[in-house]
Amino acid sequence: MGRFIARRLMGMVPFILLVSITVFLLIKLAPGDFASNYAASLAASGETVDDSMLADMRQRYGLDQPLIVQYWDWMRGVLQGDFGYSFQWQQPVVSLIGERIGLTLVLSVSTLLFTWAVALPIGVYSAVRRYSVGAYLVTLIGFVGLAIPGFLMALILMFVGVSVFHTDVGGLFSAPYANAPWSWARVVDLAQHMWVPMVILGTSGAASLIRIMRANLLDQLNQPYVDTARAKGLSEFTLLVRYPIRVALNPFVSTLGFILPQLVSGSVIISIVLNLPTAGPLLLQALLGQDQYLAGAFLLLLCSLTVLGTLISDILLALLDPRIRYQ
């Protein structure tokens, strides 16, 4: 098992390197750079900028250097924990994104747990009681959840929140806590606010996981080893939990790998709608303004999170299924 994890961790290194190159190239691929964007935005507000000032700016930020040198400078910093400097905010990237990445992570993980907690029992129920009224009902709810876009659901919830309950369901904190230092009260406040984005972000994932769980379990329910276990005299519940559900969990766990990036990217739009202080909105701004180090740092961290999520799901899979461990 230790070997397995070590091998996977080593495989991550070249992969993340490739990701960093791709991310950097993608940011650079857009026409213009931060300086020209800055000039354009100034021009839009009626001011003019002369070329020498722009050249000066380019030189200061190293934007006049060849691509490879810029990339090398960036990576050297990243390896030392320095993610560069945000042009837009005139601050080090680390201080800008630290809390936001943390909140994104907290939101993503709790959404994932919510998704599993909802999808597992409902999926099992709709497989075991196939063609029952209850199963049809949860299937219907599942499809509705799958079909409604997250941002629409966010808007509806906000509307209902304001018009019926007279509270603002946006944001992750109440006004007094928004910029306060961390305290127990702030954590409680966060928990009170988090369920709305959690439900919105988790619904479509949960709906598709219900379908996956149901299909997996239906495949397993008719397997000969289930008959073997039944012929031993096990009760139906023990039987179900010990055999088919455990085997069906297998693909369920491997969905972790693709659910994580979906949560992170899906949260961009919803974060904007709900005004959440997570990574999404800042990333969007950084990309639009060609704030290359800020955008790069975000993308790199999010990709690493995804890779890490895949690793965790692989480890869970190996724990669940001895066949994978031995391959």
Partner 1 sequence: MDTDQHDTPPVLEVRGLSTHFLLRAMTLKAVDDVSFTLHPGRILCIVGESGSGKSITARSLLQIVSPPGRIVAGQVLYRATPDAAPVDIAQLPARGPAMRALRGHDIAMVFQEPMTSLSPIHKIGWQIAEGLVAHGMMTRKQALARAVDLLRQVEIPNPEQAAEKFPFEFSGGMRQRAMIAMALACNPRVLIADEPTTALDVTTQAEILRLIRRLQVEQGLAVLFITHDMGVVAQIADDVLVMYHGRVVEAAPVSDLFANPRHSYTIRLLEAAQKLGMAAPPARAAVQPGPRLLEVRDVMLTYPAQGSLFRKTVQPAPTLQGISFDLHEGENLGIVGESGSGKTTLGNCIIRVLQPSAGSIRYTRRDGTVEDLAALDRDALRAARREIRMIVQDPFASLNPRMTVEQCIGEPLLVNGILQGQALRDRVAQLLTMVGLPGDIGSRYPHAFSGGQRQRIVIARALALDPRLIIADEATSALDVTLRGQILDLLLELQPRLGLSFLFISHDLGVIRYFCNRVAVMHRGRIVEIGPTEQICTAPREAYTQRLLAAVPEATPQRRTLVSV
Interface with partner 1 (CB under 8 A): 3, 6-7, 222-225, 227-236, 238, 242-243, 246-247, 320-323, 326
Measured in residues, the chain has a length of 327
Enter the tokens of residue 84: 């560069």
Which of 244, 213, 214, 210 lies closest to 227 in space, CA to CA?
244
Complete DSSP assignment for 244-268: HHHHHHHHHHHTHHHHHHHHHHHHH
Radius of gyration of the chain (CA): 24
Nearer to partner 1, 4 or 71 (CB): 4
Q: What is the smallest separation between the CB atom of 4 and partner 1, expressed in angstroms?
A: 8
What is the C-alpha to C-alpha distance for residues 134 and 250, in angstroms, rounded to an integer?
25
Q: Residue 230 Cβ, how far from partner 1 at the closest point, in Å?
A: 5
229 vs 269 by CB, closer to partner 1: 229
Cα separations in angstroms, 173 against 105, 107, 297, 324: 16, 13, 25, 43
Smallest separation (angstroms) from partner 1 to the CB of 309: 23
Residue placing its CB nearer to partner 1 in the complex, 166 or 232 = 232
What's the min distance (Å) between Cβ of 222 and partner 1? 7
CB closer to partner 1, 82 vs 321: 321
**CB closer to partner 1, 66 vs 224:** 224
Residue 6 CB, shortest distance to partner 1, in Å, is: 7
CB 173 within 8 A of CB 186: yes
How far does CA 106 lie from the centroid of its chain?
Answer: 10
Complex with partner 1: residue 112 or 245, whichever CB lies closer:
245
Contact call for residues 150 and 203 (beta carbons, < 8 A)? yes
Q: C-beta of 310: minimal distance to partner 1 in Å?
A: 19
Q: How far is CA 89 from the centre of its chain?
A: 24
